[in-house]
Amino acid sequence: MSLPMVVPDPGLPSSVTIWEVGPRDGLQNEPGIIDTSTKIEFIERLGDAGLPIVEASSFVRPDRVPQLADAAEVVGGITRRTDVRHPVLVPNMRGLETAIAHGVTDIAIFASATETFAQRNLGRGYDEQWGMFDPVVSAARSQDMSVRGYLSMCFGDPWEGAVPAPQVVTAVLRLRDLGCDTISLGDTIGVATPGQVADLIERLVVAGVPLGVLGVHFHDTYGQALANTLAALRAGVTSVDASAGGLGGCPYAKAATGNLATEDLVYMLDGLGIEHGVDLDALIATSLWLEARLGRPSPSRVLRARGDNTRKES
């Protein structure tokens, strides 16, 4: 049985936007360097599969994330199309200037809800990070660019432990005040559970953050990514981050394992009758194609279920 039985849930959104992070968040944690042409083809294939947002790369220092040292070549090599957005992560003004020079129209910044991770990931403290991001967001907005704010460690931090929800709410409001159009709530080390997710989203709504601003970004360390996603959908969130094949992690938080697999998310959404626009077969073919180039199996459950037969036949 390759397709799920469709049983709609009236308590869930009718449509969801999938924010594909595989080419950036997925590949940045690979032990080896992936050649530029493979990255470009990966991005193109994901767009062809119907994903409306495919995060292309990150303009960071090559010594910090060597896997993305070819960001300029990747961004310059992908096809610009009207039906797919290709955001790029920028950590500072230098990154933004590079993005502008390459015609990027969508950027993302990466903030932390905790002091320790801000120090380790950004080289700045929790309070200092906002001063670093302020000119970046202001300059981007002056160029009519859309700005996404990633917020890491929203549910747990490997050094500080559980992160209090009010602390996360404060950080989200800081990102809103900076001028971020959307904000992605990151379970960076994959420790969240559905109750935590529902509670945080409710607190954010009470604090005045519109649901349309929020996205969710779950890692599957404890096998909770899909359950947490369902809790977020039930709370009214309609933007979900995912990575083809379940690739990913975080170079500065070794406890972080793979992201929610896009195939697993699409299968669940199909079963719930929620519109998303992605061709699951084309997505599976793309992840199997990349899997062969990485030389190891993907953690995606759907790829294990559907891909095993494809591998046997090929």
Task: Show the 3-state SS of 14-47.
Answer: CECEEEECHHHHHHHHCCCCCCHHHHHHHHHHHH
Average pLDDT along the chain: 93
Q: What is the mean pLDDT of residues 257-277?
A: 95
Architecture of domain 17-313: Alpha-Beta Barrel (3.20)
pLDDT at 311: 46
Catalytic residue among 60, 250, 265, 283: 250
User: Can 250 be counted among the known catalytic residues?
Assistant: yes
**Which range is least confidently modeled, 37-51, 91-105, 118-132, 299-313?**
299-313
Instruction: Check pLDDT > 90 for residue 256.
Output: no
d(CA 19, CA 237): 13
CA distances to 6, 10, 192, 227, 288 from 234, in Å: 17, 10, 16, 11, 31
Q: What is the pLDDT of residue 63?
A: 83
Report the pLDDT value the prediction gives residue 251, as an integer from 0 to 100. 53
Residue pLDDT, tens place only, 182-203? 999 999 999 999 999 999 999 9
CA distance readout (Å), 213 to 29, 179, 205, 220 = 27, 11, 10, 23
Give me the residue spans of the domains in the chain.
Answer: 17-313
Tell me the mean pLDDT in the region 169-182: 98
* C-alpha–C-alpha distance, residues 247 and 259, integer Å: 6
Kindly report the three-state secondary structure assignment for every residue of the chain. Answer: CCCCCCCCCCCCCCECEEEECHHHHHHHHCCCCCCHHHHHHHHHHHHHCCCCEECCEECCCCCCCHHHCCHHHHHHHCCCECCEECCEECCCHHHHHHHHHCCCCEEEEEEECCHHHHHHHHCCCHHHHHHHHHHHHHHHHHCCCEEEEEEECCCEECCCEECCHHHHHHHHHHHHHHCCCEEEEEECCCCCCHHHHHHHHHHHHHCCCCHHHEEEEEECCCCCHHHHHHHHHHCCCCEEEEEHHHCCCCCCCCCCCCECEHHHHHHHHHHCCCECCCCHHHHHHHHHHHHHHHCCCCCCHHHHHHHHHHHHHC
Q: Tell me how far apart the alpha carbons of residues 284 and 244 are, in angstroms, rounded to a whole number.
A: 8
% of the chain beyond a pLDDT of 70: 94
- Binned at pLDDT 50, 70 and 90, residue 250 comes out as low
16-71 residue pLDDT tens: 999 999 999 999 888 888 999 999 999 999 999 999 999 999 998 888 889 999 99
The pLDDT of residue 253 is above 70: no
Of all residues in the chain, the percent with pLDDT exceeding 90 is 85
The pLDDT score that the predictor gives to residue 100 is: 96
